[in-house]
Chains A and B, each alone.
Chain A
């Protein structure tokens, strides 16, 4: 069903739903793109603190999702996060990932406003779309 809901949550939802069976890969890829955009603006520390806070809250509902993005050495490819999903069924993974993104987006929106959050999101998604287009072109 077509929707014109362009809230941050809906935008993220649509991005994650693009390939339901590969939601872990899609979410990690999206997180990397958002990290690139956000770290440029609020710094690595700012991004990691936000993500840690989000993970901490998700951990209350999904105790198995436990990772600290502030840990060193840095983990720019989110391998620790990816490993949390090993052995988890798709439905549970989808629920946890959706909650993680929603929590992250909600905190970010609360701090810098929905408008600015959407600008950052669109920039990240735009880069993702651009990368996909390039891949298709190369193929």
Chain B
């Protein structure tokens, strides 16, 4: 027999929430769900309650308001988790408004205990607990009585073997809520952040006794299914995000000449940044990368942020998608969090056992994020790439590069350091024509070609041409043939 008491976890089934809580809500804990008005406190409480409650684990939901319970029932039943069949047998709503009017804590406590004794719940919710706190101000009873009330309630609920949730509206942790914050075993803080026209919901486990919770603020979304939390990807231990540089396994890009330039293809588990100006053929090369994987029996995933499905899905890619060989994460929503996207990516990668992932493009990706997340895009992208490569998938990210020809850049965001390999596409002007050139800038831990080669797009395929051996000044965008170049240089010298 173990010396330590085992704290059982109540698995709420709220997507992502249990992961955040280190496996679920500790049984018999006394918790506070706090946050700003409209931040989703009641919805989260209801979702947990409807998920957890059954005839053997009944739930009591106390409301401390007048008419609003009608509205609460009206709106909460719109969520899919609202199960009418659980009302009465497993869930009972009780209104405490009348008991709370004069702020008599003893009366409120007596009523709560009567109801608890009669119904025998394993889960108790009090919404909104701030009403209790405010009632203490309206009455002659002060903070000391409130603290006593809360301690008494917490103790009673624990001895009744109930897991308790107090729900309260707080703009920020304030003095009046002090006693609650002190006594609570767990504190969940819900908030809404608005930047520009977009709004993001955040959830933070401020405190959770006896649980190894996920630190930091995590984004969550509320839709007709209820709350879905996207725990912030945290890099843990050396095995996550660890890439074996110079890995022996190489993945073909689907363009043999390019594979040769890379020293035999892109090493498995690498992040590859494909940069180039608009129309240079980045998406086409990315499609060839996925198609080659499919040809070899590997599934892939593409996250399309820039183009609508019709624009993105060339006949070739469309067929791969139709065949179930490539999964598409397509979103043009502009209020995403990087963790939401990562969640979708990881889910699809696991579901399809994908080996190749394409993010097309980083520019669209950044745009799809809520303005709040754009500020720390680099840090977020670092986590995303580390998690994906840590899963062993090879990630190809496209990035549009506005070529200025007077400076050499590999990314608009200074994100090139994130990539294990970089391929650059550019336009040059030659004899009055735009020509495409391609070069491999870096393949970490591997030898690779230093050539700059012509390339073209022919029938949806990347065709690598001759290297620009006899040209100089290629990076200026206006190369000249070698001898003429020398003459130019001579002239320049003369001049």
Q: Which residues of A contact B96 (CB under 8 A)?
A: 43
Q: How far is the CA of A40 from the CA of B98 in the complex (A)?
A: 11
With both chains docked as a complex, state the minimum distance between the C-beta of B115 and any C-beta of chain A, in angstroms: 9
Determine the main DSSP class of B at the interface with A.
Answer: mixed
Does B277 have its Cβ within 8 Å of any Cβ on chain A? no
**Which residue of B73, B77, B95 has the most chain A CB atoms within 10 A of its CB atom?**
B95
Q: Check B67–A112 contact: CB distance below 8 A.
A: no
Q: How far is the CA of A42 from the CA of B5 in the complex (A)?
A: 40
B73 contact from A40, A41, A45, Cβ within 8 A? A41
Q: Check A45–B70 contact: CB distance below 8 A.
A: no
With both chains docked as a complex, state the minimum distance between the C-beta of A22 and any C-beta of chain B, in angstroms: 29
Does A10 have its Cβ within 8 Å of any Cβ on chain B? no
Q: Which residues of A contact B65 (CB under 8 A)?
A: 43
Q: Which residues of B contact A115 (CB under 8 A)?
A: 84
Q: Tally chain B residues at the interface, Cβ within 8 Å.
A: 20
Does B87 have its Cβ within 8 Å of any Cβ on chain A? yes
Q: Check B67–A43 contact: CB distance below 8 A.
A: yes
Q: Which residues of B contact A49 (CB under 8 A)?
A: 67
B66 contact from A46, A112, A113, A119, Cβ within 8 A? A46
Q: Tally chain A residues at the interface, Cβ within 8 Å.
A: 17
B69 contact from A42, A113, A123, Cβ within 8 A? A42
Q: Check B88–A112 contact: CB distance below 8 A.
A: no
Q: Which residues of A contact B98 (CB under 8 A)?
A: 43-45
Q: Check B97–A45 contact: CB distance below 8 A.
A: yes
Chain B residue nearest in CB terms to A123: B88
Does A80 have its Cβ within 8 Å of any Cβ on chain B? no
Q: Which residues of B contact A123 (CB under 8 A)?
A: 88
Q: Which residues of B contact A116 (CB under 8 A)?
A: 73, 77, 84, 87
Q: How far is the CA of A49 from the CA of B71 in the complex (A)?
A: 13
Does B93 have its Cβ within 8 Å of any Cβ on chain A? yes
**B residues with CB within 8 A of A:** 63, 65-67, 69-71, 73-74, 77, 84, 87-88, 92-98
**A residues with CB within 8 A of B:** 39-46, 49-50, 111-113, 115-116, 119, 123
The 8 A-B residue pairs whose C-beta atoms are closest, nearest first, are: A43-B95, A45-B66, A43-B97, A41-B93, A42-B69, A112-B73, A46-B67, A42-B70
20 contacts between A and B (CB under 8 A): A39-B95, A41-B73, A41-B94, A41-B95, A42-B69, A42-B70, A42-B73, A43-B63, A43-B98, A44-B95, A44-B98, A45-B66, A45-B97, A46-B69, A46-B95, A49-B67, A113-B77, A119-B87, A119-B88, A123-B88
